Amino acid sequence: MMKRPLIKNIEDLKETGQLRSNLIMVTSALAGEGKSFTAANMAMSMATELDHRVLLVDADVARPSLARMLGFEADQGLLDVLQDRVALQDVLLATNVEKLSVLPSGMPRPGATELLASDSMRRLLEDLASRYSDRIIIFDSPPLLLTTEAGVLASQMGQIVVVVKADDTSQADVQRALAGIASHPVKLMVLNRVHAKMMRGTGYGYAYGYGYGSVEDA
């Protein structure tokens, strides 16, 4: 359900000359809300179905988790590209999902998060948006309220997905996070980890329960 509006935006925004709509940032107010889970599942879902190729980037460089989540090991990645130690093509990993590749974060290091707000990152995003314009690029990113760099990154993305952990993150924190990206034109929100008992009588039930998986999984 989440991928539809994102894919539609890519097509619609391209027509209006918005060239970066293929750059999708997955973020949240705080840590542990489900950014990596959402980014990885969405990337896989898009890659299995579409004509598009998908690149999943582990940009939560202080707390990278895609390698563990997807079961691979990689010493080098985004941070090394940003520090000009290695070329992008040399650190992209193929996966067993044919159209899905992954850019790992690289080993955590001092100043890692700051690199996300650097000129080098700005150039990489420009390059990705133009050279890889036929790919959907999903960035598993740091939380908005815990790093100022996430806001800088957001300003350079085509679309932003804000994951909110249901019944956990306070409304005030969500509002503060959204205030930080208020000027961004394309934002979508995901209410994650909604339990069946929260959904009773709310109208969510039909939507989540329909199709694959159970309500408890949503």
Ligand X SMILES: Nc1ncnc2c1ncn2[C@@H]1O[C@H](COP(=O)(O)OP(=O)(O)O)[C@@H](O)[C@H]1O
Q: Which residues bind ligand X (CB under 6 A)?
A: 28, 31-37, 65, 192-193, 217
Minimum distance from residue 216 beta carbon to ligand X (Å): 9
Which one, 21 or 38, has the nearer CB to ligand X? 38
Alpha carbons 94 and 39: distance in angstroms, whole number: 17
Q: Give the pairing type, strands 187-192 and 93-94.
A: unpaired
Minimum distance from residue 193 beta carbon to Mg ion (Å): 14
- Tokens 């985004």, located at residue: 78
Contact 185, 13 (CB under 8 A): no
Minimum distance from residue 59 beta carbon to ligand X (Å): 11
Which one, 37 or 132, has the nearer CB to ligand X? 37
Residue 62 backbone phi and psi in degrees, to 5: -85, -30
Which one, 65 or 133, has the nearer CB to ligand X? 65
65 contacts Mg ion (rule: CB under 5 A): yes
Which of ligand X, Mg ion, none interacts with 21 (beta carbon under 5 to 8 A by kind)? none
Alpha carbons 158 and 13: distance in angstroms, whole number: 9
CB atoms within 10 A of CB 126: 14
36 contacts Mg ion (rule: CB under 5 A): yes
Query: Which residues are at the interface with Mg ion (CB under 5 A)?
Result: 35-36, 60, 65
